[in-house]
Chain A
Amino acid sequence: MAAGPRIANPVRSAFAPGERDDTVVVSIGPSHPATHGTIQIFAELSGERVIRADVHCGYLHRGFEKECEAHTWHNCIPYMDRLNYCSPLINDFAYCDAVERLMGVEITRRAVVLRTLLSEYSRLCDHITCIAASLMELGAMTAFLYMVMIRDYMYEHIAALTGARVTHSYGRIGGLARDLPPGWLERLEEILVQYDDFVGRVHGLVDRNRIFIDRMRDVGVLSQADALSYGYTGPMLRSTGLALDLRKDTPYLAYPELDFEVPVGIKGDNYDRYYVRMREMDESVHMIRQCVEMLEPGPINVDDRRCSFPEKPLVYGEIESLINHFKLVMEGPKVPAGEIYVAHEGANGELGFYLVSTGEGTPYKVHCRAPSFVHMGGAHKMLEGYQLADLVPTFGSINMIGGECDR
């Protein structure tokens, strides 16, 4: 590094400043309040208008796949949490589902319903975080504070179940870490009532707010053809009017039994993306209430010694369980050789796990098809042609999550 500048530049822009006389190249990020920390955008401006944009991610690439290859199938679960840290439970359950299908394990009814409930609860948290952050970036501080308040109730509530506020590590191969504590469902209903109240205020504050509409309507428009070509899924694709939802199309968990709608937008601009997320949150609340009704007592872990741990008293009391526990902890569950791709509807879109096993206790390969990463590949389509200031709400509405984008 002797020849170059003292602090090296980690990226190279697709276009150099000074290629054209009438434009200027601006670098936005990677440490910028509106880029959520970890993205860098080179924007070529003509006046205030973005002509070309070059999006760079990878500032949070922390070797997720390499780490997974060095851990047992169980020990990978905490790494899943930190992919999309706004909705960690969806990641956990998608990964566990993939491993279970590879092993041929069918989880218990109570685990199915609980996973569905918690996935929707997590989706609620994720959308709240996304909307709160993008509203704050537009200056709507009050709405942000309302959203963070209700989200904090949820965090504390999930912490009562899982032991952690943000990164829960609650999924287990073959079931869940532990059952619901007493009074959890009662508190859940209280929070859902409060949620209606808080989100109602946000609706009142911003939905028909002239400033908000001017910043969001017809800004960052994405056509349906572009969305499909760039591999968009989830709320981003639905905002363009295509009702594509893995919960409906490729049924998993308890979703086939639930009654819910798939909200879609009209033209795929920022306002549609905001509103699709708001509507999805209401649908999630509706689903959570149905799941509470469906919940029946029963075991949460399958009785399969290949993956689930024996009861603690048995581990201390008999040699077979002790050895079973030892083998599961030290060597990991033996997953049959093969490969599998399983996708769940994450908060941002299709969250897929491609696993390759050679029959060992550690995965041979764990690849995550992360929606945020794919969305970044087409982000320039939504930035080009709009004002520089529009970059902030557009980027906020994509809901790029560094953990799963860069992995």
Chain B
Amino acid sequence: MKSSAEVFDRIASRLSDREGEVAVSHGILVANLAPGGVLAAARLLRDELGFDVFLDVTAVDWPGQDPRFEVVWHFYSTSHKVRVRVKTRVPESNPSVPSLTPLYGSAAFMERECHEMYGIGFEGNADLRPLLLYEGFVGHPLRKDYPKEREQPLVAYRPGFELGERG
């Protein structure tokens, strides 16, 4: 097995062909790409560089910054035993990135979660029904502007209990 630094060098040289910066941070190769370049980069990672496990997709909300959302993907290679992180920024007005469902089966569930929690749209994922939340939930709870204790109960509380009252 080659050392991870050699593997990273090789991947970095391939990824940096497509506009974006690539750096190593805490043992993971990090690639900052434009939203449009994500699907092509993922295809390159899977088909040519051996990143066969799609670990995770999530988002980070940076209110006040523009573009507001940072979408983060993690990939793992079972042959090189290293991980790669792909990041991109999307604006609040159009928080949309391409879906990875054509490449990885695991993307379907994870994108559904990211969609309901942050309101990120995944173009190409036809099934974005609520997964961890429920039908009728308004808003995206992991956005920083969603108050932590705002409840949306499905069952009316019994008499004597007020919504939002604690303790």
Contact = CB atoms under 8 A, between A and B. Distances in A.
Interface of A: 1, 7-12, 14, 56-58, 61, 63, 65-67, 69-70, 101-102, 226, 228-231, 233, 242, 244, 249-250, 338-343, 350, 352, 354, 356, 364-365, 367, 369, 373-374, 376-378, 381, 406-407
B106 A378 contact: yes
A100 B135 CA distance: 39
Given A377-B108, A406-B132, A369 B56 contact: yes
Question: Which 8 residue pairs of A and B lie closest in terms of their CB atoms, listed nearest first?
Answer: A377-B109, A231-B106, A10-B134, A58-B132, A61-B132, A229-B105, A249-B81, A369-B56
Nearest to A231: B106
A7 B131 CA distance: 19
27 contacts: A1-B156, A8-B155, A12-B129, A14-B129, A58-B132, A66-B142, A66-B146, A66-B148, A101-B26, A226-B105, A228-B52, A229-B104, A231-B53, A231-B104, A338-B25, A338-B26, A341-B85, A342-B26, A352-B55, A354-B56, A364-B60, A369-B55, A369-B56, A369-B74, A374-B109, A381-B105, A407-B132
A384 to B, nearest CB: 13
B106 A66 contact: no
A7 B54 CA distance: 38
Interface residues of B, number: 41
B133 A230 contact: no
A56 B131 contact: yes
Nearest to B78: A244
B105 A367 contact: no
Given A8-B154, A10-B154, A102-B26, A365 B60 contact: yes
Given A12-B135, A61-B132, A231-B53, A341 B148 contact: no
A359 to B, nearest CB: 14
B106 A230 contact: yes
B74 A377 contact: no
B118 to A, nearest CB: 11
Contacts of B83: 341, 343
Contacts of B60: 356, 364-365
B131 A231 contact: no
Nearest to A339: B25
Contacts of B156: 1
B20 to A, nearest CB: 17
Contacts of B56: 352, 354, 367, 369
Contacts of B146: 66
Contacts of B74: 341, 352, 354, 369
A12 B113 CA distance: 15
Contacts of B130: 11, 58
A152 B105 CA distance: 39
B28 interface: yes
B135 to A, nearest CB: 6
B122 interface: no
Given A229-B105, A369-B55, A70 B148 contact: yes
A57 to B, nearest CB: 7
A72 to B, nearest CB: 15
A236 B154 CA distance: 35
A242 B109 contact: no
